[in-house]
A and B are shown apart, each in its own frame.
Chain A
Amino acid sequence: MGTRILTVEDDERIRTAVRMALEDEGWIVDEAGSGEDALEAFSRAPADVVLIDLMLPGIDGFELCRSIRRQSDVPVLMVTARADTHDVVAGLEAGADDYVTKPFQPKELSARIRALLRRVRAGDSGSTQMRFGDLELIPEEGVVRREGKEVHLTKTEFRLLCELAATPGRVFSREQLLERVWGYDYFGDGRLVDVHIRRLRTKVEKDPANPRHVLTVRGLGYKLQP
């Protein structure tokens, strides 16, 4: 079965043009003109990647993102007005995995989608079980347990944790994490890492405000404390 992409965009011309460009990449594209339509389409035929314009009438992009997150760990790529607003952080906190800014080049868009798809599939291969205090990580099965209970992570959060866990105690810079998890070269947005680390902590840490496992090394980056 081919890769399905759900595009949520209220401007019909953009939607059509983007659909055609993405179809040329060999993907199956579903379209939705509003948040409500998107939720319905998603429940009918789950997508492999969801593309959400944050500016939507009715249910806005942030709310849609949260709704989808509640039912799925599908990678979400959001389309924002611009890079230097709070929208980016708000969208990432709502559960988006990555973002592009409008106007975007279709090539840029498909590169981001491919990176997200890679991340989904990368979960399959990996080392065997690892244990850090109360935290248990089984990369092969894509499972994380804290105090024996399974914790639900998105694909991106899981990849991020796996990267940090691959060499416990080693400090990873934001650039390195952007490259390994998001597939960016040097020019990724450091906020992607920051927000995902924050989200990761709320799930794997007992007290996210005083993390024991996922630690910040000031001015350098992040590390996983064994």
Chain B
Amino acid sequence: MALGFRGPVRIRDTSTRLGLRARLIFAFALGALILSIMLAGVTYGLVRENVLRQRETAATQQAFNNARVMRDALRTARGDRSSVLQSLQIAGSRPVLYHRNEWIGIDIETGQYDLPRELRTAVISDGEVARMRYVLRGETRLAVGVPIPAVEAAYFEIVSLQEVDDTLDSLTVALLLAALVTTVAGAGIGAWASRRVLRPLAEVSGAAAAIASGHLDTRLEDLSDPDLAELVESFNHMARALEERIERDARFASDVSHELRSPLTTLSASIEVLQGRRADMPERAQAALDLLVADVQRFQSMVEDLLEISRFDAGAARLDVEPVRIGELVLHAIGTAGAGDVPIELAEDADDLVVPADKRRLVRVLANLLDNAERHAGGATRIAVDRIDGGVRIAVEDAGPGVDPEDRERVFERFSRGSAAGRRGSGGGDGVGLGLALVREHIALHGGTVRVEDRPDGQRGARFVIELPGLVA
């Protein structure tokens, strides 16, 4: 047998506060973010390197060409240096000439101070071709210097890299946007994947809920996924074991009660024989007989209650439905229960209040309610039968201590023992605490409801209300 009682076993909860679903989505999104940022970084670096190198190569090439033109011009002393410089200028670049300790620019703003000192030193003093990237007045620039020793000059060309910077900025924005989109898409995929992964779990939880609500034969369907087959198998195994155990318990209660009926029959008959001879007995024997009579009676009603409830558990309870005039039934039930002096208020059209019902069960219901009132509240004080929408309502009131709101569900439970429930649940004295539980079972079998509430007139006491559907119009 699978279900041995070894004390409660709890599965350790290793999860953080976030749900599994949220964690999956988060992981996917984070992965996508990291990946896209890495890709963006590499892309940006490569593009930047590439673009800058191209620009530098072009600028260097241009500077050499221009230096050659300038050298030829200075050699032949043809024309004015400034106008030669002007002619060498193209968009985005500014030439600067150093000639015989003199700096000549294309305009008044461009001169030696636009060039870094290191570059000037390298070109003029060391006579080397040099190239340098720098930022001046918020502008990224590239300066290339070419010495022209033949004419004691040096030619510099300043190229603005602002354009490249702008391009790279646009690229950055585009890459960031792409990263964002990728991250969101990652989260979306995470959500989809988690739903797929968790779908079997949703089925498991649905099945567990069905079992909890009494559908003990609920089983999970076999899934094609081998990863989940084990879960399905162990779940179904658990459900099977649970069902077997519950059935066995129900059968046991039923069997025991059945076995008790034979000795009880002998007891009742023997006691009857003894009671017929009570007058012949000594006083002590009479007292003992009285005790015996009372407790055999009590024993009998306990066994009857147990039998009745075990039939509900075994699912064997069956309604013998016939049209029942509720007013008539209530009057007879009260008479039989010895509560004939309880005031009863029947609706004016009580004769028309006919519902399909099992008479035997309804009589037991009323007897149990009256018995409950007798036992805990000194007897019922008022019984009312009314028409409600599509059904009838039977209310039994008493003047006892009432039922606390927190006990109003519990009094209908089996063997209810609690603060007030212990005194209430028909369990205090003679019964086994099944009286009100049986009321609820009988009424539920009729598709009706039973509840306990305060008396509507504000007086102390409880009011048990039964509502039965199916009024025959």
Contact = CB atoms under 8 A, between A and B. Distances in A.
Interface string B33-58: 00000000000000000000000000
B265 A187 contact: no
B322 A174 contact: yes
A131 interface: no
A187 B320 contact: no
Contacts of A104: 265, 268
Contacts of A11: 262, 265-266
Interface in B316-339: 316-318, 320, 322-323, 328-329, 332, 336
Contacts of A24: 272-273, 276
Q: How large is the interface on B (under 10, 10 to 19, 20 to 34, 35 or more residues)?
A: 20 to 34
Contact of B307 (A16, A82, A105, A187): A82
Contact of A82 (B262, B263, B311, B354): B311
Contacts of A14: 262, 265-266, 269
A83 B360 contact: yes
A194 B238 CA distance: 46
Q: How large is the interface on A (under 10, 10 to 19, 20 to 34, 35 or more residues)?
A: 20 to 34
Nearest to B332: A186
A84 B273 contact: no
B399 to A, nearest CB: 28
Interface string A81-104: 111110000000000000000111
Q: Which of B262, B267, B268, B322 has the most CB of A within 10 A?
A: B268
A106 interface: yes
Contacts of A174: 322
Contacts of B363: 187
A102 B360 CA distance: 16
A187 B364 CA distance: 11
B265 A18 contact: yes
A105 B293 CA distance: 12
Contact of B266 (A17, A81, A84, A191): A17
A112 to B, nearest CB: 14
A174 B328 CA distance: 14
B258 interface: yes
A20 B262 contact: no
A21 B300 CA distance: 18
A176 to B, nearest CB: 12
Contact of A185 (B270, B276, B332): B332
Contacts of B268: 103-106
A20 B273 contact: yes
Contacts of B265: 11, 14, 17-18, 102-104
A103 B299 CA distance: 11
Contact of B261 (A16, A83, A102): A102
A111 to B, nearest CB: 12
Nearest to B323: A219
Nearest to A106: B272
Contacts of A190: 320, 322, 359
A189 interface: yes
Nearest to B269: A17
B385 interface: no
Interface string B167-192: 00000000000000000000000000
B264 interface: yes
Given A20-B269, A105-B268, A186-B328, A84 B359 contact: no
Nearest to A220: B323
B403 interface: no
A63 to B, nearest CB: 21
B27 interface: no
B450 interface: no
Contact of A187 (B267, B311, B316, B359): B359
B472 interface: yes
B163 to A, nearest CB: 97
A214 B356 CA distance: 24
Q: Which of B258, B269, B359 has the most CB of A within 10 A?
A: B269
A20 B263 CA distance: 16
Contacts of A189: 320, 360
Nearest to A186: B332
Q: Which of A16, A17, A104, A219 has the most CB of B within 10 A?
A: A17
A107 interface: yes
A106 B359 contact: no
A149 interface: no
A13 B264 CA distance: 11
Interface string B242-269: 0000000000000000100111111111
Interface string A180-206: 000001110111000000000000000
A49 to B, nearest CB: 16
B303 interface: yes
B472 A219 contact: yes
B322 A17 contact: no
A185 B263 CA distance: 29
A103 B322 contact: no
A174 B323 CA distance: 11
Nearest to A105: B268
Given A103-B300, A187-B363, A81 B258 contact: yes
A204 B332 CA distance: 34
Nearest to B307: A82
Contacts of A83: 360
7 contacts: A16-B266, A84-B316, A84-B317, A84-B320, A105-B300, A106-B269, A106-B272
Interface of A: 11, 13-14, 16-18, 20-21, 24, 81-85, 102-107, 174, 185-187, 189-191, 219
Interface of B: 258, 261-270, 272-273, 276, 300, 303-304, 307, 311, 316-318, 320, 322-323, 328-329, 332, 336, 354, 359-360, 363, 472
The 8 closest A-B pairs by CB, nearest first: A17-B269, A103-B264, A186-B332, A106-B272, A21-B269, A103-B265, A20-B273, A17-B270
